[in-house]
Structure 1
Amino acid sequence: MNIKKKILTLLLSSALLVGALAGCGNPAVSSGSGSAAATDSGEKVKIQYWHINGENQGGAAVQEFIDEFNASQDRIEVEGRYNNGYDELLKNLQADTAAGNAPAIVQVSWSNIEYFPANFAYVSPNEIVSSYYPEDSNFLSSTFEDSILNLAKNNDGILAGVPYSVSNPVLYYNADLLKAAGLSENGPQSWDEFVAFAKAVKEQTGKFGAYLQEGDTWVLQAILESGGASMLTYEGGAPTATFASDKGKAAMQSYADMVLTDGSAVHLTSNDDGLKAFNDGEVAMCVSSIAKATNIINSANFDVRSTTFPEFSGEQRAVPAGGCYLAITAQDTEEQKAAWEFIKFLCNDDNSAKWVAGTGYVPATKGAENSQILKDYLGRNPLMQAAMNQRSNAVQWTAWPGSALEAQQALIDMRDQILGGTKDVNTAMDECQTKVQSLIEG
C-alpha cells in the first residue's frame, strides 16, 4: 500500500499545449560553467521569482532576501512577484509561458509534484549542476535529508526542483478559553479529547470549540488518514481511491458530529475567516498550518499555545507535508544560472533559518537547525515545537492521477455536503469515491 501525493490539476489551454508542453521538462541546457554573467551589453541578468507569500505569511522575508541578494553582487537582479496561492501561480504561469514570458523561478506546491513536471517546461536542478556547476555536485545531498529531497521527486524519480518550504498541520488553542471551560491548559492529547474539549467549550462558554482548516483537502486528508484510512492505494501499479473505507467514514462521522450534532465546531470554507475567528477569541482550538504561527502570534490577544495533531485511538498520526519546492522555469541560459545562484543563496544555513522565523515553516535544510537564528527563534516561539515533534509523522500530500483538479474539487464538495448537512457521510463518501475513481481511470 503506497500513499501517493495529491495533485491539483489545471486544465491546459491550447496555447499552453503549443507553448509550455513543447519540450516539456527539458528546455535546452547548453554546456558551460561558472557564475551567471552580465549580458553582452553589460546589463545585469534580470530574473523573476514567483511566490505565494503575502503580507501575513512571509512576504516581508521574501523581499528582504531579494534586497540582500541584489545588494550582494552586481551581476544579477531578482524581482519578486506575488501570486495569491499555488493554484493562481500555476494558472498565471500557464498564461505567461504560453506568451513566451516565463519567470526564472516559481514556488510549486508539493501537491503538484506529479502535475507540474508533466505539464510545464522546467530544468531539473541536476541538469543545472551537471551543465554549469559541477562544483555543486554534492550541494543537494549535503543540504537536504533524503526524506525532504524525495518530496521534490515525482513517481519517475525525477527531481523537479529544490525543497524550500515544509509545513504540517498543528493544533493551536486558546488556553484562556480552555481554562474558562474547566479544561486542561495543556490541550487535548487525543482525537477523543479534542472532541470532548470542543463540546465542553461550547457548553461552558458559548464559544465554538474548534475550527479545522478548509479551503483545500490538506487537513481533511490528515483527519481521514490519521483515522486509519488511505486516500489512494496502488495494487499492481493500478491506482485506487480508498478514502471511503470504514475507518475513513468513522473519522469523517466524528468530524461531522462536532459540526452538526454538538455544534462545537464551525464550518467555514474560507481559511482566512477561520483564522480570524480563532484570533478574535471566538474559537478555542484551530487546526491549521504551522506556517500560520507568525500570523497567530502577532494577532491573538490571549494565551495561545500549540500541540500536535490529535491521534485517533489505535492509529498512527498522519500529517501531509505542505509547502513548496523551487522550480527553475527560465528558458535562457544566463537566467538559468542566475536562478541557481539565487536558490543557493536562499538555502544557506542562516537564510533557511530566517525563512523559518519569517514564516513559521519547519526547517527544510539540514544546516538550519545549527543556525543561532533558528535556535533563538524556537526559544521565542514555543508554538513551533508541535510541528517539530511531528515531522516523523509526515506523509505525502495525495497526488491524484487523471483529472486531478476535478478529483480535488469532488473531495471538497463531499466535505461541504457532509458538514453542510445535505448528505450523510456514507452516501457522500461512497459517491465521491466512485466519482474520483472514474476520474482516475479517465
Structure 2
Amino acid sequence: MKKCLTAIAFVLAASSAQAQDEKITIEFAYPYSHLFDVTYEKILPLFNEKYPNIEVKIRASYESYEDGTNTILREAVANTLPDVTMQGLNRQAILVEKGIAKSLEPFIEAEEDFAKDGYHDAMLKLGTFDGNVHGLPFSVSLPVGYYNMDVMAKAGITSAEQLPKTWEEVVATCGKLREAGVKNPMFWGWNITGNWFLQALMWSQDKPTIDNGEFQIASDEGLQSLETIKSLFRGCDMQNIEWKAALASFSAGEIGMMYWSTSALGAVERSKGDFELKTNEFPGFEATGPKGLPAGGNAAMLVSTSTDPNELQAAWKWLKFITSGQGAAEVARTTGYMPPNKAANEVILADFYKENPNKETAVRQLPLLRDWQAYPGDNGLAITQVIYDGLEGVVTGEFDDMSELQEVMAEEVKDLLPEGN
C-alpha cells in the first residue's frame, strides 16, 4: 500500500509542471447557499490569483447535508460526479465505504509542508478511515444561543451574565416573555440537519447517541433528552415553523431566544433588524453547562472520476486551499463557523474574535467538541428521517408520552440498523 501511494504521489508531482501551462476546469458542489455563497465569493478571487490556470465551476448548491449525500450517491450511479464535494462531517463514511470518495494520502504525501496537525484533531478524525484521510474539514460549528437583547429586556435580562444557563431557566424566561406580550419567545432547532440537537442533548449528558452500533435513545439519558424537548416545546409554546422561517423571524426581531448552529451568525448579522444581538453558550442540564457537544460542519472530499493527473492535481489544489489558512479564514469572517485549521484561528484571525465577540462564543466551547455521529449501515439517512419524524411528533402534539416515543423510536431505528448491532 505504501509503495502504491508513493507511486501515485510521484505521478501527481511530475504532472504539476505540465499543469501550470494548461487551463483546467474542475467542478465543485457545496450545501447551504444562503450561508456559503458569500464565503466562496471571497475565496474564489484569492484562489484565482494564486492559480490562474485553474477554473472552478460551481454546481447548484445542495439544500442540506442529507441532500448533498443523496445527490452524490445518485451522481455516482449516473457517472456525473463533480471533482470536489462538501459533505457533512457525519456523512463521510458512506462515501468512503462505497468507494466514491478518494483517499487524499497520495496528495498529502507529495506535499513538502503539509501538516495534518494543523487541523483540529476531532475534525480530522471524522475524515480518517483505516488510517487514510478522505476528507479535510472545512468548517466547524457548535450549537449556541442567539438572543435579541431588546426583547430579553422585557424579561428583565439586560446583560450576558443574566442569560439562561439551563433549559429550566430557558422555560422560565419564556414564561416571563409571554407575560410581557412576546408571542413567540423561543425557537429551538430540533429540525436542524442530522438530528444534531438531539445529539447535543445526549452529549450534554456525556452520552453518545450511537454506542457500539446501537441506538441509545432507550437509555435514561435518552428519556431525559426527550422530556427536555417536550418541556421546551410546551413550556415556551414554540411555534412549529420551518428552520429558514425561524431564522428570518429572529432576524426580523420577532423571537427573543433562538438556539441554533453558530453557522448562521454571519447571515443573521447581515439581515437582522435594529436590535442588539448577543450570542452565548448553549445551555445545559446544570448551571455548569453541557459536558459535551457534537461538532457540526462539513469537509471537502475528492470524488472526481477523472484519470487525468493534471485535473486531479487541480482538484487537490482547490481542496487544500479552501481548508487551509487563507481560505479557511474567510469561513470565520463571512459565517459563524470556525475554521478547522489552527493556522487560520491562531495566526490569521488572532484579533478577529476579540473584535467579534458574538463569533467567539463557539470558540469558547471548543473543549466540549465531540463526534457528530452517523448512523451505521446503508439506512443511515432513513434513520435520520425516523428520528426527525419522532421529534416533529412532539412539536405537533402527536406524542405526549415521552416513554412511549422512546420505545417507538428505539424499535424503528433498531429495525434499520445493520444486523449484528
TM-score category by the smaller chain? 0.7 to 0.9
Partner of 1:357: 333
Shift of 1:178: 1.2
Partner of 2:228: 254
* Aligned residue pairs, count: 402
Partner of 1:222: 200
In 1: Cα distance, 2:222 partner to 2:207 partner: 5
Please state if 1:427 is matched with 2:404: yes
AA aligned opposite 1:68: L
Partner of 1:312: 285
Aligned ranges 1:295-374 → 2 under 5 Å: 295-301=267-273, 302-313=275-286, 316-331=290-305, 332=307, 333-372=309-348, 374=349
* TM-score when normalising by structure 2: 0.88
Please state if 1:267 is matched with 2:240: yes
In 1: Cα distance, 2:99 partner to 2:175 partner: 47
Shift of 1:227: 4.3
Partner of 1:22: none
Whether the aligned pair in 1 keeps the contact of 2:142 and 2:262 (CA below 8 Å) is yes
State which of 60, 63, 77 in structure 1 corresponds to 2:41. 63
User: Structure 1's 329 and 140: CA in aligned 2 closer, same or farther, altered over 3 A?
Assistant: farther
In 2: Cα distance, 1:228 partner to 1:99 partner: 42
Whether the aligned pair in 2 keeps the contact of 1:52 and 1:85 (CA below 8 Å) is yes
In 2: Cα distance, 1:263 partner to 1:195 partner: 6
Moved over 4 A (4+): 28-31, 37-40
In 2: Cα distance, 1:157 partner to 1:425 partner: 41
In 1: Cα distance, 2:9 partner to 2:325 partner: 30
User: Structure 1's 316 and 71: CA in aligned 2 closer, same or farther, altered over 3 A?
Assistant: closer
Unmatched 5+ residue regions in structure 2? Answer: none
User: Structure 1's 146 and 251: CA in aligned 2 closer, same or farther, altered over 3 A?
Assistant: closer
User: Structure 1's 256 and 228: CA in aligned 2 closer, same or farther, altered over 3 A?
Assistant: farther
Shift of 1:70: 2.3
1:17-63 superposed Cα distances (whole Å, 9 cap, x missing partner): xxxxxxxxx9x9574124645579x6412101211141x31212213
Unmatched 5+ residue regions in structure 1? Answer: 1-25
Partner of 2:143: 169
Partner of 1:395: 370
Equivalent residue of 1:114, what SS?
A: helix
State which of 112, 119, 124 in structure 1 corresponds to 2:98. 119
Equivalent residue of 1:257, what SS?
A: helix
Identity within the alignment, %: 24
1:111-137 superposed Cα distances (whole Å, 9 cap, x missing partner): 11321211242321112233xx2524x
* TM-score when normalising by structure 1: 0.84
Equivalent residue of 1:91, what SS?
A: helix
RMSD: 2.4
Aligned ranges 1:10-409 → 2 under 5 Å: 29=8, 31-32=10-11, 33-34=13-14, 36=16, 43-54=22-33, 56-81=34-59, 82-130=61-109, 133-136=110-113, 139-154=114-129, 156-186=130-160, 187-213=163-189, 214-216=191-193, 217-227=195-205, 229-234=207-212, 239-260=213-234, 262-268=235-241, 270-301=242-273, 302-313=275-286, 316-331=290-305, 332=307, 333-372=309-348, 374-402=349-377, 403-409=379-385
Equivalent residue of 1:205, what SS?
A: coil
AA aligned opposite 1:150: K
Equivalent residue of 1:410, what SS?
A: helix
Shift of 1:258: 2.8
